[in-house]
């Protein structure tokens, strides 16, 4: 079993030197999962979803609110995977791109940046969804995002699985095979703290340090990745 990891951006070089890059965080959280990594944002790329048991779409410092051609290509691959019955999980930017790929809208969150460790709550649909099997209805997760899927413009094909006051669309389902989570199940406490401190110029020093102080590991959130592999990919 191998999955296709569509890497849609990279950590700041200084941060990567201290904490690792996106693939390092996923590798730590998904021990033993094999993947082929494609850096979609770097230029022309090609992959065939028929060669993989599932697809993982990463976060990105770039934004669907300023679309680039490579984003259209990733969105097309998500839809192709869906049509072929290949499971897809999008994380943060990947979640937003999935919402956009199915006709939704991505906006700058009018409530501002969401950073650090927060609680999200499952909807009735989320409580029944295998992505959250075995998890409490209130789940602590790590976040770092300014954009969000607009809850006022969701297409009928997209179902909200989780929410909180800051970001009403925290997880989505698009049919049987495609899922997105706004939060970062792969991010551990030290990485979350680093993100909080790096956003200080945008949110203020006092708030950044307070969020960093409260950021922590979120072991239950890692279960989301486990569920994706065991209940979507391996059962696909």
Over residues 3-39, the pLDDT tens digits come to: 999 999 999 999 999 999 999 999 999 999 999 999 9
pLDDT, mean of residues 202-212 = 97
pLDDT digits (tens, 9 = 90+) for 128-173: 999 999 999 999 999 999 999 999 999 999 999 999 999 999 999 9
* Average pLDDT over all residues of the chain: 97
Strand (E) or helix (H) holding 3: strand 2-7
- pLDDT for 6 equals 98
Q: The pTM is what?
A: 0.97
Contact of 87 with 173, CB cutoff 8 Å: no
**CA dihedral in degrees (220, 187, 142, 212; nearest 10)?**
120
Give mean pLDDT, residues 201-219.
97
The whole-number average pLDDT for the span 96-100 is 98
What is the band of 235 on the pLDDT scale with cuts at 50, 70, 90? Answer: confident
CATH assignment, 2-188+219-233 = 3.40.50.880
Q: Is 184 a catalytic residue?
A: yes
114, 143, 186, 194: the active-site residue: 186
Mean pLDDT, range 42-63, rounded to an integer:
96
186 is catalytic: yes
Task: Report H helices in 85-215.
Answer: 93-101, 124-128, 189-198, 200-203, 205-214
What's the CA angle centered on 101, arms 150 and 144, to 5 degrees?
A: 50
How confident is the model over 58-78, as pLDDT tens digits?
Answer: 999 999 999 999 999 999 999
Give yes or no: 8 in active site. no
Q: Which of 92, 114, 118, 177 is catalytic?
A: 92
Question: CA-based angle 175:85:41, to the nearest 5?
Answer: 85
Report DSSP state, residue 152. G
Looking at 95, 118, 177, 184, which residue is catalytic?
Answer: 184
Percent of all residues in the chain with a pLDDT value above 90, rounded to a whole number = 98
Report the alpha-carbon distance of residue 200 to residue 156 in Å, rounded.
38
117 three-class SS:
strand
CA distance 173 to 179: 5
């Amino acid at each position: 079993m191998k999955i296709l990891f569509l890497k849609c951006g990279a950590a700041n070089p200084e941060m990567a030197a201290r904490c690792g890059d996106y693939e390092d965080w996923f590798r730590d959280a998904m021990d033993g999962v094999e993947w082929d990594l494609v850096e979609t944002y770097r230029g022309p790329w090609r992959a065939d979803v028929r060669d993989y048991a599932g697809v993982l779409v990463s976060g990105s410092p770039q934004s669907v609110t300023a679309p680039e051609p490579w984003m259209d290509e990733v969105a097309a691959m998500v839809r192709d995977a869906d049509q072929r019955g290949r499971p897809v999980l999008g994380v943060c930017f990947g979640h937003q791109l999935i919402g956009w790929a199915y006709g939704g809208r991505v906006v700058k969150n009018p409530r501002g940046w969401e950073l650090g460790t927060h609680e999200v709550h499952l909807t009735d649909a989320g409580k029944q969804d295998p992505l959250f099997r075995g998890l409490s209805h209130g789940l602590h997760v790590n976040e770092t995002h300014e954009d969000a899927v607009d809850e006022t413009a969701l297409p009928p094909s997209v179902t909200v699985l989780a929410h909180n006051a800051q970001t009403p669309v925290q997880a989505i389902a698009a049919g049987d095979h495609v899922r997105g989570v706004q939060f970062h199940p792969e991010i551990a406490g030290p990485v979350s703290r680093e993100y909080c401190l790096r956003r200080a110029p945008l949110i203020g020093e006092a708030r950044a340090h307070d969020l960093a102080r409260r950021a922590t590991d979120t072991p239950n959130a890692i279960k989301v990745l486990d569920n994706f592999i065991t209940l979507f990919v391996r059962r696909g």
